Amino acid sequence: MNILLLGYGKMGKTIEQIALERGHQIAGRIDVNNQTDLANLEPDDVDVVIEFSSPESAVTNIKYCLERSWPIVCGTTGWLGHRTEIEQLCEERKGAFFYASNYSIGVNLFFRLNKVLAKFMRDYPSYHVSMTEIHHTEKKDAPSGTAITLAEGVMEHLPNKRRWVTNEAGNEPVEVSDDAIEIEALREGAVPGIHTVRYESDVDRIEIKHVANSRQGFALGAVIAAEWLAGRQGVFGMDDLLGSGE
C-alpha cells in the first residue's frame, strides 16, 4: 500500500519504519514544515493515510482526507469535540475513518480488563475510583486519550460516576465531587505512557496498570489498522479490528 503520513514526529517516524518493514511504500511525509506539499498529491497517489499530528491540526487533516476519499487512520487525541462532525462527514462522503485513542494491542486488552473490573466494583461503593496517567513532556493534551477511554469504560459500569476531571501537576488542584473520576495527569521525561486505575477503600487498594516500554506497540497497531481499513467504508475503531471480545 501507499501510505501517507500526516505528522512526522517520533511516532510518524516509528510508523514509517514498521510500514516499510511490512512491505508498504510511503506516499508522503507531511508535518508543520511542509504542509503545502499535501496539495501536490493526486488522489491515486495514496491508498491510506495515517494521521498522528496535533490536536490543532487533526480536524483539518481528517476533513481533507475524507473529501479526497482517502481512508484515514487517526491516532491524534485532544480533538474529540468535533467527533460527531467528522463521523457525519465520513458518512456523507462514503469514506473510511478509523480512530483509536491508543493503537497498542496491550492497551486495548487493558481497556477490556478495566471494564470487567468496573463491573465487579459496581456492588462495592466503599471503594473510591481514580486514575493516574504519565506521559513524556512533549505530549500536548491532558488527560491522555487513553485515560479518557478508561474513564468512559468505568462510567459505563458505575452509574454513580458521570464525568471525569483532570488534575495536572503544577496547576491549581480541581475539586473532585462524588460523581466524578479524578484523572491525575503527569508529564515526566521520555515516558511513552503509564496508565493506572485504582479502587481504594479504608482497608485496601486494588490497582491495574499498563506500562508502555516503547512506541513500537502503538505504531504497529496503527499500521495494522491501516492494512485492515483498506477497501472498507464507514467509521471504525479497535473493537472492529480486534472483535468485541464479548
At 31-52, the pLDDT tens digits run 988 989 999 999 999 999 999 9
Residue 196 annotated as part of some ligand binding site: no
**Range list for CATH 3.40.50.720 in the chain:** 2-103+216-242
Q: How far apart are CA 30 and CA 41, in angstroms?
A: 11
Q: How far apart are CA 199 and CA 179, in angstroms?
A: 15
Q: Pick the more confident residue, 218 or 202.
A: 202
**Range list for CATH 3.30.360.10 in the chain:** 105-211
pLDDT of residue 139: 82
pTM (2 d.p.): 0.78
Residue 76 annotated as part of some ligand binding site: yes
Summarize pLDDT for 6-30 with one digit per residue, the tens: 999 989 999 999 999 999 999 999 9
The pLDDT of residue 206 is above 90: yes
How far from 45 is each of 25, 42, 171, CA to CA, in Å?
11, 5, 46
135, 157, 161, 195: the catalytic one is: 135
What CATH number should be reported for the domain whose range is 2-103+216-242? 3.40.50.720
Q: Pick the more confident residue, 208 or 141.
A: 208
The pLDDT of residue 199 is above 80: yes
The pLDDT of residue 201 is above 70: yes
Instruction: Pick one of 3.40.30.10, 3.10.20.30, 3.40.228.10, 3.30.360.10 as the CATH number of 105-211.
Output: 3.30.360.10
User: Could you tell me how many residues make up the chain?
Assistant: 246
pLDDT of residue 173: 86
Q: How far apart are CA 159 and CA 235, in angstroms?
A: 27
The pLDDT of residue 164 is above 70: yes
Q: How far apart are CA 55 and CA 212, in angstroms?
A: 22
Q: What percent of the chain has pLDDT over 70?
A: 99
Residue 39 annotated as part of some ligand binding site: no
Residue 139 among the catalytic residues: yes
The 10 Å CB-count burial string (b at 16+, else e) for 162-201 is eebebbeeeeeeeeeeeebbbbbbbbeeebbbebbbebee
63, 115, 128, 139: the catalytic one is: 139
In sequence order, the β-bridge partners of residue 4 are: 28, 49
pLDDT of residue 244: 61
Residue 243 annotated as part of some ligand binding site: no
Residue 100 annotated as part of some ligand binding site: yes
For residue 84, which of 245, 230, 235, 187 has the smallest C-alpha distance?
235
DSSP string, 100-150: -S---HHHHHHHHHHHHHHHHHTT-TTSEEEEEEEE-TT--SSS-HHHHHH
Q: What percent of the chain has pLDDT over 90?
A: 80
Query: What are the residues whose beta carbons fall under 8 Å from the beta carbon of 104, sequence distance 6 or more?
Result: 212, 217, 218, 221
Summarize pLDDT for 48-95 with one digit per residue, the tens: 999 999 989 999 999 999 999 999 999 998 898 999 999 999 999 999
Residue 145 annotated as part of some ligand binding site: yes
